Amino acid sequence: MSGTSRRRPALVRAHVVTCGRAAPSRNIFDLATLVLLSPAAAQGATGLGPEGRRVVELCGPGALSVAEIAAHLHLPLPVLRVVLADLVDTGHITTHAPIPVAELPDVTILEEVLRGLRAL
């Protein structure tokens, strides 16, 4: 391949990775959901498939978002959600909802501040 590296197509089909399941056991995984290792994961990734072990390795240094994990593993989001749900079920990972976007302050408060500034 003349010096350039092409990504080879996945040899394992998605239904093999998910053991034929099309939906996760829980629906808590938004693209921005943060995934962290739980204390149980420190005991190792025994009994996990290759994708589960890779998630544990990736999250070892710190939290990653679901989108980041999907990019690292080159997995479609529905497949990754099944893998992550399995890891939550086995106690290897925990998740945290993304930090919500700050709510805008009430317009009436801003108007009062503006009136106060103009009065100066």
Residue 36 has φ and ψ, to the nearest 5°, of: -130, 155
pLDDT in tens, 28-41: 778 888 999 988 76
CA angle, residues 9, 15, 18, in degrees to nearest 5: 110
Task: Check residue 69 and give its pLDDT.
Answer: 95
Count of structural domains within the chain: 1
Indicate which CATH number applies to the domain containing 74: 1.10.10
Confirm whether 2 is domain-assigned.
Answer: no
**For residue range 71-83, what is the model confidence (pLDDT) as tens digits?**
999 888 888 888 8
pLDDT digits (tens, 9 = 90+) for 93-120: 898 887 665 566 677 888 888 899 998 8
The reply to whether 97 falls in a domain is: yes
Helix (H) or strand (E) holding 96, with range, is strand 93-96
CB 48 within 8 A of CB 109: no
Order the strands of the 64-65 sheet from edge to edge: 64-65, 34-37, 93-96
Specify the pairing of strand 93-96 against strand 64-65: unpaired
